[in-house]
Structure 1
Amino acid sequence: MATKGKKALVIGGIVLGSFLLFGYKKYDEAKKVIESLDFSIQDISHIRISLKKISFDMVIRLVNPTPIDFGATASSYISIQEIRVYSQKGEYLGVAKSNIHQIQLPAHSQFDLPKISINLDSIKALQEFMNNPAMYINKDFSQLKYQIDISAFGNVITLDA
């Protein structure tokens, strides 16, 4: 009887170890893809200005340059939780809370996210605009820095873009 219990325990341990290894492999693969993603702003619309904040809608393009087909299974879906916007000097300008879930990123592909509403501090945003007016008038947002919180496999990964 004790031998059957030990045998069941060993088999259970092997099965559990296999699941953990598979899960770690998928997480490691997801992390490689997420860290390789490229982000770019495709469109800005519906600009709203008040004394405290400047809000606008933004479309962000995600590019998966890797040969990894991330999102082929339901367990590979990722979600974007939050996007923080900073000036080139690192000053916090504002945030976008996101409800974008179940993003699929096939290998060597690009995907435009649905519009996200960004809220910026009016004073800080106007100072940034005044420091680089020609760039922003020409829709060149390369001076801005972003931190994007992405959730995958129950873990939150913060990317700098």
Structure 2
Amino acid sequence: MELNAQLAAANARFDALVERVNVVEANKSRNEPILEMLAKYGRFFNAITTELEPKLNEIVECLDALDEQLDAIPMVMQSMGQPQLNAAIDAFRLELASAINASTQVARDAAIVNKPRSALPDAFSGKREDWKSFQSRLDLFLLTHESAYPT
């Protein structure tokens, strides 16, 4: 009787392990395209994080300064007349627009990847002996313009 209980417990543990292995396998196959993309574009993602962090810190500092100005608005409103208040609001809007433009530029800069470019290959002459060199130049062009020709 005790042997049957031990065997049942061992079978239950084995079944649980098999289930965990199946879950790991399913996750692996589901995440494999993401892992391949990360491996392929690893340097790009690394460059984004290292270049983006200082720029994001600048934006945060700018936003903190704007927050301080926002906190000061009620006191300024009490001490100013309407024309002065309108001028202060316009200056604040310009500063805010400048901060937004800076953050959008950072995003645009991060999206641009400086890759070497190659010139468009010369037209194919139609001669059989020119095919290999034309195909090589075309492959190089498509490789260096991967974002424009993804497939």
Q: Which has the higher helix share?
A: 2
Q: Which has the higher strand share?
A: 1
Structure label with greater radius of gyration? 2
TM-score (normalised: structure 2): 0.31
Q: Which has the higher contact order (CA 8 A, sep 6+)?
A: 1
TM-score (normalised: structure 1): 0.29
